[in-house]
A and B are shown apart, each in its own frame.
Chain A
Amino acid sequence: MSGQASRRDILGGLLVAFALAPTAALAQTGGGEGSGGPPTVAPDLPGTLAKFPDLDAWIRIGADGRVTVFTGKVELGTGVKTAMAQLAADELDVAIGRVDLITADTALTPNEGVTAGSQTLEQSGTAIANAAACVRLLLAETAAARWGVAATTLFTRDGVVLDGQGRRASYAELAASTSLAVRARADVPRKPVAARRLIGRPVPRVDLPAKLTGLPSYVQDMRLPDMVHARVLRGPSSGTRLTPDLAALRRQPGVARVVEVGRFAAIVGPREWPLEQALRVANQGAWTRDAGVPALPPMPAGLLEMRRESSVIDTRRDASAAPGVRRLSARYDRPYLMHGAIGPSCAVALMAEGQLTVWTHSQGVEPLRTAIAELVAMPADRVRCVHREGAGCYGHNGADDVAGDAALIACAMPGVPVRLQWSREQEHGWEPLGPAMLAQIDATLDASGRIVDWRHQVWSNTHSTRPVAAGDLLAGVEVVPPFAPTPPKPIPQPNGGGDRNAIPLYRFANQSIVSHFLPDMPVRVSALRGLGAHLNIFALESAMDELAAAAGRDPVAFRLAHLDDPRAADVIRRAAARFGWSRYRPRPNRGRGIAFARYKNHGAYCAVALDVERIPDEGRLVVHRAVVAVDSGEAVNPDGIRNQVEGGVLQSLSWTAYESAGHDGARRTDYDWSGYPILRFADVPHSVVVEVIDRPGTPFLGTGECAQGPTAAALANALAAATGVRIRSMPLAGGLAAHS
């Protein structure tokens, strides 16, 4: 990665650039998660083709036969680059090695909003697969016209169109006389499943050889000529402000410059280490709590006392249902959680010739561009945001903020590339946390042991403060006069934010689901992988186990008895069978637990079974085995799905069992990995098995977040089975220790 690659370098000079839609058409819808981007203009086309229907927005073929694929989505470590290359190569019929992928770059790629919500393959993957199928057909039609035959008599093989009689023409030569600046057709069939060579196969990740051998792969690795380093000066955590001694910092060795814009301050110098030392000096300055930040009530009960906007998001009434005879009423909660990227946020920015370029690991380069343009008072078309990978983020962390910071510094130093690296302490202190949440479930069983009434209420802040305007960036409220943050709003169903997955997939006679949206944010919060699904599924699936026990039913059979979606039943049965559910031998302090969800009720189906032991006296827990069954619809890359789900299971075990981000009312209390411990090798399961149920020819179902909720509930359920103690508050290991 050269980082300074110009548009021409990136394209190798071989491809003509396509005209981007005018900026006005790119207005952000914003505030959402994984949506955004321009309006739909071609509703008959699938995925994001509906917004960018022209083929050359997605695919171009060079004179050397190389295929360049453009996606507005980004690689977050989930392997989507590989999946997209598979889709394009298979549908086009070229070797995967011939495909180059350009990911989110406001100057080059379709505006696909934010890469979030496990929607990348549904939106971008669907667009690319269908665009590739169209391009293949157009190339064949060019050959057909040239040879005077019907296109249907031709076939393709690895970048060549053939007529079976010895005539052949390469894609490269056909592309020279085939315009791709045309609308995709809605009626072009995808390749038949039996003819696929790459889709559905565990193709190795295209990006790993570079990453595993130390080739520069991350924004943190960018080193531009004459680049300077920067460190930003802030109080200990979000909601505080620092009064650094700027005069002393100017005298500090290695500090070439102090950039001050209102309250925003940063130090700049040629080398990193002296800046690190200067940062320590700066951090000795006094800090105060920002005025106007709401007080933090005691958690989690304080959530019930906060100002709220309540809405019934789902309701069902069946007057003929049998009366309830037994009742469960229980509260479940989780604390604030950190994203905790292993690499603290970083960005590189360069202001040159009136154009600001920002290299960023943001999940949404387009909304970020809008926010930065406002921050630095430049027209959006003079600002370019280019995605460069960072460490895994799992949601909205410091990525956007650091990009805003770097942009502000770069504008103060035209012509000089600036690399800004946040410290570990800054990432822990300033990243938006996953919101603390509380859910209450009230349910009744009829005399036959069926659930007849179900009420689920959830209290939560917003799950997205992703930037759509300057005031949403940390720097935006530090400049003077400050920009106003966008008021928080709930993410509507069917995706949902705090109420994501609050609506059960089970069939209950009567149900009422209530979302209590809490607009006041005492602690900075935003999207964390799975959003509200983590707590809602924890609550729902814990309650299902509690009700199964009350009804005297096996947890697997009890769930199946309340489901009428065969794919849901399938993942539960497969997980149970692979786990050996019916053969399981209970032992003292050891138990099994299962839980299920369909992510967002329209993404991947996932069931998780765990075998868990409590180590008496130590109050410690050991997860012996995790067995997962997942149905992602058509599995583009089964190993990629397994990798995501394994990771999701381990991450959710870490969140659910061990994590809690502290706050003492004035500031956060955890600034490094000693204050905020996460799962380590010593605590990972002995084995994790993920079974992928492939459904070729069916739509892709978002998978990246599907394991977070089921894992959390399966852990609580297994612990209850092992110990007889039902823990409804995360972190569960804390509750376990309290009962030991």
Chain B
Amino acid sequence: MIDLTVNGATARVDVDPATPLLYVLRDDLRLHAAKFGCGLGQCGACTVLVDDRPVFACLLPVGAVGARTVTTVEGLGSAAAPGDVQRAFLHEQAAQCGYCIPGMIARAEGLLRKTVTPTETELRSAMAPSLCRCGTHMRILRAVRRAAVMRGGGVVEPAEPVT
């Protein structure tokens, strides 16, 4: 039996401790925000927060989570009451298929927990591990900038001005 703290609640699961956290979230806890994209730590679709840091849930064995807290996108808000980062993504309509977006939101949340005043370069490198095939990048960046402002900060050193 493994005890986990996920989105503020405790959960007990009976699985092989080598099982990647992603399968426990999706199959045992029915938390579907984090997605399977590669299982290789290459795309970020599975990103969740472990103690405020974005991690690839497809690589992290559930047995290695220990006492650390896990936060998924479900823990940041709901469709009826979305959290601030989710509101920022909705405001910017930052999704096409949306498959990569929960991972993007989790990664953005991780950045903003570290700093609400990242530079544009820091913003882009923080988001870099996550892939989007639909090409929603510009909107995702706008959404994270908006979320930074909503948290009382903002992204400094904007992208090269448009002539």
Q: Given A391-B133, A672-B40, A682-B128, verify A688-B138 contact (CB < 8 Å).
A: yes
CB distance from A181 to the nearest CB of B (A): 35
Q: Say yes or no: B131 contacts A678, CB within 8 Å.
A: yes
Which residue in A424, A580, A678 is a CB contact (below 8 Å) of B37? A424
Is B47 in the interface zone, CB < 8 Å from A? Answer: no
Inter-chain residue pair count (beta carbon < 8 A): 195
Residues of B within 8 Å of A583, CB to CB, are 163
Contact A342 B132 (CB under 8 A): yes
| With A212-B90, A213-B33, A646-B138: A341-B42 Cβ-Cβ less than 8 Å | no
Q: A455-499: contact bitstring with B at CB < 8 Å (1 yes, 0 no)? A: 000000000000000000000000000000000000000000000
A389 on the interface (CB 8 Å rule)?
A: yes
B16 at the interface (CB under 8 A from A): yes
**How far, in Å, is A437 (CB) from chain B's closest CB?**
21
Segment with Cβ contacts to B, from A215-223, A502-510, A732-740: A215-223
Given the contacts A214-B33, A343-B36, A647 and B82 also touching, CB distance less than 8 Å: no
Please tell me which stretch of A45-53, A188-196, A269-277, A295-303 contacts chain B, meaning at least 4 of its Cβ atoms lie within 8 angstroms of it: A269-277
- Which chain B positions have C-beta within 8 A of A276? 39
- Once A207-B98, A213-B79 are accepted as A-B contacts, the answer to whether A424 and B32 lie under 8 Å apart by CB is no
Among residues of B, the one whose C-beta sits closest to the C-beta of A580 is B163
B162 at the interface (CB under 8 A from A): yes
CA A220 to CA B74, docked complex, whole Å: 17
Give B65 Cβ to nearest chain A Cβ, in Å. 15
- Bound-complex Cα distance A467 to B138 (A): 35
The count of chain A contact residues (Cβ–Cβ below 8 Å) is: 68
**Distance to closest chain A CB from B25 (angstroms):** 10
Contact indicator A214/B73 (Cβ below 8 Å):
yes
* Contact flag A684-B101 (CB < 8 Å), given A208-B93, A342-B131, A672-B42: no
- A220-B22 Cα distance, complex, nearest whole Å: 13
A213-B79, A273-B19 known; A342+B133 contact, CB < 8 A? yes
Q: Is the CB of A682 within 8 A of B125?
A: yes
B137 near A212: Cβ-Cβ < 8 Å: no
Check if A218 sits within 8 Å of B99, measured CB to CB.
yes
A342 x B37 contact (CB < 8 A): yes
Please, what's the 1-or-0 string for A341-355, where 1 marks a CB less than 8 Å from any CB in chain B? 111100000000000
Contact of A681 among B27, B127, B139 (CB under 8 A): B127
B162 near A687 (CB under 8 angstroms)?
yes
Indicate whether A167 reaches chain B with its CB closer than 8 angstroms.
no
Of the listed stretches A325-333, A374-382, A518-526, A649-657, chain B binds: A649-657
Known: A394-B133, A680-B128, A684-B138. 6 other contacts (CB 8 A): A77-B95, A211-B95, A213-B73, A213-B86, A273-B23, A644-B96
22 pairs of residues in contact across A and B, judged by CB atoms under 8 Å: A76-B97, A77-B98, A79-B96, A207-B98, A208-B90, A209-B82, A212-B90, A212-B101, A216-B32, A220-B36, A342-B37, A342-B131, A394-B133, A421-B36, A624-B160, A625-B160, A625-B163, A643-B96, A643-B139, A674-B42, A680-B131, A687-B138
Top 4 nearest A-B pairs (CB, nearest first) are A214-B33, A77-B97, A650-B135, A392-B97
